[in-house]
């Protein structure tokens, strides 16, 4: 049975990184962007990371520019923005695609394990659905991720436990992470 530990990704400098190095840890894998309405999620993510990393928790950050060009900078520019504005210390990897024929295999796997079930209720969810539908029309069945700051919770065995859309309250995400720890 395949797990996230079977995947290799690239770090910000282009070096191959096997996710097997995170074996036994609880992971939150996130596709991010620096110019998104959800960019403030970096703050509670970093707070969660600082509070829980000593208990075997890691956040893996994958910038993506496929949603309204909200992550246009280079890997170094994105990293500088995140560390200066939000003080992020969790690992940030090379910018990737999460949808279409060029989708990173890790994200295709994650989204296949926990498919999109909607953005929830409310005005924010309805508005995001409209933008998401327009943006993702070009990817068809390979529209794995619907927007920036989609989060996947991975248990200590490397299996996908939960998927959180960007509209999910960060307190709910944190509670799920703490339960997995």
Residue numbers annotated as active site: 36
Six token digits for residue 10: 């690239």
Tell me how far CA of residue 167 lies from CA of 14, 70, 135, 150, in angstroms. Answer: 31, 17, 17, 9
d(CA 126, CA 162): 22
Angle 22-59-31 from CA coordinates, rounded to 5°: 115
Q: What dihedral angle (degrees, nearest 10) is formed by the CA atoms of 22, 143, 145, 136?
A: 150
φ, ψ for residue 13, nearest 5 deg: -95, 0
First to last CA, the chain: 22
């Amino acid at each position: 049975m395949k797990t996230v530990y079977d995947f290799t990704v690239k770090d910000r400098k282009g070096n191959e990184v096997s996710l097997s190095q995170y074996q036994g840890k609880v992971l939150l894998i996130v596709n991010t962007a620096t110019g998104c309405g959800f960019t403030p999620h970096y703050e509670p993510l970093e707070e969660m990371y600082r509070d829980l990393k000593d208990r075997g928790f890691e956040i893996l950050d994958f910038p993506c520019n496929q949603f309204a060009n909200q992550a246009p900078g280079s890997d170094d520019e994105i990293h500088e923005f995140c560390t200066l504005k939000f003080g992020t210390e969790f690992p940030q990897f090379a910018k990737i695609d999460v949808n279409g024929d060029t989708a990173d295999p890790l994200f295709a796997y994650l989204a296949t394990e926990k498919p999109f079930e909607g953005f929830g209720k409310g005005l924010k969810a309805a508005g995001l659905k409209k933008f998401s539908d327009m943006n993702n029309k070009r990817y068809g069945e390979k529209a794995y991720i619907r927007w920036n700051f989609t989060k996947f919770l991975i248990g200590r065995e490397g299996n996908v436990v939960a998927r959180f859309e960007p509209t999910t309250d960060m307190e709910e995400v944190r509670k799920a992470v703490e339960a997995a720890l």
